[in-house]
Chain A
Amino acid sequence: MSDMADSDRGGLGGSSPRASTASARIAVRKTYKLYIGGAFPRSESGRSYVVTDQKDRFLANAALASRKDARDAVTAARKAFGGWSAATAYNRGQVLYRVAELLEGRRAQFVAEVRAAEGLGARQGEAVVDAAIDRWVWYAGWADKLAQVRGSANPVAGPYFNFSLPEPTGVVAVIAPQASSLLGFVSVVAPAVVSGNTVVAVASERSPLPAVSLSEVLATSDVPGGVINVLTGRTEEIAPWLASHMDVNAIDLSGATSPLADDLAAAAAENLKRVVKPGDEDWTLAPGLDRMLTYLETKTVWHPASN
């Protein structure tokens, strides 16, 4: 297995050609787990699957999440929703900005992981990680601006102060993009949490490791447990349970391909989930507001104005 530790290619074994010599230090490898409710469990099913790089060389075993794991993650996300959605917008912005700070500090690690996962060269890997960090910063800044951009005072014909404000829809399930393991993941998770939603994200099936490492950043930042939950495993196995879950309010199908995506959208109709359908998105481009808006409800209040 020594060829998997190709440090030029940013392999994750942490070893090097010297590893084969008796005197060299043997690297301590990381176990990649699920991230649910702020903790790192293995799959309750006891299963794992082999994750390889783009040349099919072994990178790690990742947890193969089950239906039960998905349901546990939804429970954790629902539990976290009350606190996270009630936090001040300023506070949410600060907490999310801190995630970007920590990502920046671990930039080299993420470049190595993304390169290994996606088979990128050094400059490409750096560009992707920089874009992911910058995207996180961009979204963090939206926390205390959405209400102004999306809200309104409505001049009704009567003695009322009438206003409309955006509110988070609730628990958002995210089937993260398959090809873009970190930038794609950030681009679908951040727009949901910034407005106060909580998330159950299914990482790229082929390349889940950068997302798992991101969850380790989340765990050591100030994001409350349960606000973002990360599952790894087979998209086809986990996604239907999330799409049909009656306590999930919205679903992003970016990482699902047809015909699975159509089936998931149909299942999501059972409790009228808000749905983001998969498109041919270039994750390096500026994202626009669409995703954030899909996860926002508009509340209109008629407040009496009288003496």
Chain B
Amino acid sequence: MKNREVFLTDLALITCIVQRGLGDEIVIAAREAGALGATINYARGTGIRERLGFLGVAVEVEKEVLNIVVATEQVDIVFSSISLAGKLDTPGMGFMYVTPLEKASTYIPPTVVEKLEERG
């Protein structure tokens, strides 16, 4: 079996939007819960500062958007870990959602592919 024909299934994407600067802490928690990797990018959104305003001018709030791909069996534990680490139950801290993935593909070491072949 060629590596290029191996697809990963049963995956989900956790997207978490938090205040800028909190991303690393959340990624650490996600990795400790079993997530392998993450991507982090910046965005602007609505937050406490915008609500309060500054000298009568609404301020857009800088956010960090985290995308973490995990196996579906790990979604709940990673989701909970992120929620705790990011204190997402506190108003204004952030929110997250899970998107089911149909399939994924990446480099898979030949030894793993061989094991998969043996299992059929």
A and B interact physically: no
Query: Which residues of A are in contact with B by a Cβ distance under 8 Å?
Result: none
